[in-house]
């Protein structure tokens, strides 16, 4: 129920119908809620309902509404707020005035202001104070720009409320890959005040044209449908290296069992050595642990021995380790692994990158079967790399983002044990295991 500035007049109230995700955004008491939604899921409607609910709850306070560009403020925010105000019985000349200028706002007589700002120029987010803020389509900005805008908005959110309650910022956005909203609300929220609300287009289907969802499904590729219909965070970069990987469908709850053989794919990078630890279950590989950010090969050997002292260790390294030397001019990295007592398996040279990637992708999903499984709790860096790594402008897996180290390590094991030959995955018998 929304009210205008006279809470004692029942005729000035409006009962509204909301979907479950919309209701959650409007009513949550979390300080920083974010509704991440598919197209047509009603995120803007929910943001505006929350904005007016808080505006009339704290009539002397100001609120701010943010959109990426001024054109969106002019064509969406202003007319939509006019409609919302009219719906709760507020006639323009009697209750509020519109100011459309470089600093657009709605002044409510006796009830503060609704201030509009754009995020394409965060430098203009200055010179005013509000009690609550509302951000529409935050994730359409570049990640660094969104972070900058968020910090500026947070600084404006300091008008004290009469009852001393928290200043809030609510976000409504479509998911645009693994950008600012994913980082702040999904991957590493600073506190439990950051509350993520997922909303699919289906949740608001009764308010959409009958063929709206069918048209989306027909016109968008499957990876975009997951984001723009279901509201999922996925890699939207064209040319994802491992497009079929899904942390749920390829998920595993397996852990290392006492004394079992461990198969470790290893990538050599001084200061950034990575190793992905696999076990086998029913002939299929399960990634169950990872060692990342290790300084060099001697440090990696020490880490493996300390962490897995009772296990037989099988290493599948980058074949260039035959030529690399971590700290001894006469001993290669692979020779160091063998001297440490590990079972080392590598060919004279690495497979072609495309063959290694193909072997990984076939194990991730082929013919409806997903053989490669990953324990996301134990291998967070590996999962993130599989989800995020994309091809660069030269058509090679991008190595500038840092996602390549774990992926390469896992790929050396997969491509050695499950090589792809003429489109078929073969399993190589190694040492009776």
Binning pLDDT at 50, 70 and 90, where does residue 382 land?
A: very high
Query: 402: Cβ–Cβ under 8 A, 6 or more apart, which residues?
Result: 272
Write the CB contacts of 263 (distance below 8 Å, at least 6 apart in sequence).
277, 278, 279, 280, 285, 314, 316, 413, 417, 433
Distances (CA, A) of 285 to 7, 145, 328, 352, 414: 63, 40, 34, 21, 8
Which DSSP symbol is given to 321?
G
Q: Give the model's pLDDT for residue 72.
A: 86
Q: Find, among 184, 150, 186, 182, the residue nearest to 169 by Cα.
A: 150
Q: Which pLDDT belongs to residue 8?
A: 46
Least confident range of 20-29, 77-86, 168-177, 222-231: 222-231
**Which residues are paired to 423 by β-bridges?**
none
Average pLDDT value for residue range 262-280: 94
88, 14 Cβ separation under 8 angstroms: yes
Residue 352: Cβ within 10 Å count: 10
Supply the pLDDT for residue 425: 52
Distance CA 131, CA 44 (A): 19
Among 279, 245, 247, 275, which residue's Cα sits nearest to residue 362? 245
Q: Lowest-pLDDT range, 12-26, 30-44, 127-141, 196-210? A: 12-26
For the full predicted model, state whether its pTM sits above 0.75. Answer: no
Give the residue, 63 or 89, on which the prediction is more confident: 63
pLDDT at 389 over 70: yes
Select the more confidently predicted residue: 56 or 253: 253
Average pLDDT for residues 278-292, to the nearest whole number? 97
**Could you tell me if 59 and 110 are in contact, meaning their C-beta atoms sit under 8 angstroms apart?**
yes
105 confidence band (pLDDT: 50, 70, 90)? confident
Provide DSSP, 94-141: HHEEEE-SSS-EEEETTS-EEEEEESS-GGGS-S--BSEEEEESGGGS
- Give the mean pLDDT of 241-258: 94
What's the pLDDT tens digit per position in 322-362? 665 555 544 689 999 999 999 999 888 888 888 898 889 88
pLDDT at 148 over 80: yes
Q: Structure tokens of 32?
A: 């920083």
Question: By mean pLDDT, which of 182-196, 334-348, 392-406 is the weakest?
Answer: 392-406
Whether pLDDT at 373 is above 90? yes
- Mind listing the domains of the chain with CATH numbers? 2-228 (3.40.50.300), 262-425 (3.30.420.280)
Query: pLDDT tens, 168-177?
Result: 999 999 998 8
* 96: pLDDT strictly greater than 80: no
pLDDT in tens, 403-422: 999 999 999 999 999 987 64
């Amino acid at each position: 129920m929304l009210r205008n500035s006279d809470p004692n007049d029942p005729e000035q109230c409006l009962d509204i119908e909301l979907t479950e995700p919309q209701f959650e955004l409007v009513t949550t008491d979390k300080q920083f809620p974010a509704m991440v939604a598919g197209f047509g899921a009603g995120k803007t409607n929910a943001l505006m309902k929350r904005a007016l609910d808080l505006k009339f709850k704290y009539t002397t306070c100001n609120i701010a509404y943010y959109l990426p560009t001024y054109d969106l403020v002019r064509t969406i925010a202003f007319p939509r707020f006019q409609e919302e105000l009219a719906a709760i019985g507020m006639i323009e000349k009697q209750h509020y005035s519109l100011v459309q200028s470089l600093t657009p706002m709605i002044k409510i007589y006796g009830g503060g202001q609704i201030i509009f700002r754009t995020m394409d120029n965060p430098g203009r987010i200055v010179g005013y104070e509000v009690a609550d803020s509302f951000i529409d389509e935050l994730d359409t900005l570049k990640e660094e720009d969104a972070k900058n805008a968020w910090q500026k908005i947070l600084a404006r959110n300091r008008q004290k409320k009469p009852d001393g309650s928290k200043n809030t910022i609510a976000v409504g956005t479509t998911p645009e890959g693994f950008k600012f909203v994913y980082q702040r609300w999904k991957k590493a929220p600073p506190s439990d005040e950051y509350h993520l609300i997922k909303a699919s287009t289906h949740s608001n289907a009764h308010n959409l044209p009958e063929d709206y969802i069918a048209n989306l499904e027909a016109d968008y590729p499957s990876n975009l449908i997951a984001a723009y219909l279901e509201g999922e965070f996925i890699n939207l970069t064209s040319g994802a290296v491992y497009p079929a990987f899904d942390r749920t469908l390829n998920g595993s709850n397996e852990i290392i069992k006492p004394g079992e053989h461990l198969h470790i794919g290893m990538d050599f990078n001084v200061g950034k050595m990575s190793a992905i630890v696999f076990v086998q279950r029913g002939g299929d590989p399960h990634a169950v642990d990872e060692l990342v950010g290790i300084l060099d090969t001697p440090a990696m050997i020490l880490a493996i021995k300390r962490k897995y002292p009772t296990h037989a260790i099988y290493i599948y390294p980058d074949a260039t380790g035959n030529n690399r030397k971590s700290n001894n001019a006469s001993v290669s990295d692979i020779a160091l692994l063998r001297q440490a007592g590990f079972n080392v398996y590598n060919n004279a040279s690495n497979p072609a990158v495309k063959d290694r990637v193909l072997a990984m992708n076939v194990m991730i999903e082929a013919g409806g079967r997903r053989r490669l499984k990953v324990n996301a709790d134990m291998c967070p860096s590996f999962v993130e790399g599989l989800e995020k790594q994309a091809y660069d402008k030269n058509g090679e897996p991008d190595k500038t983002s840092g996602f390549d180290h774990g992926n390469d390590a896992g790929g050396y094991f997969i491509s050695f044990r499950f090589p792809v030959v003429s489109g078929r995955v073969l399993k190589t018998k190694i040492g009776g295991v």
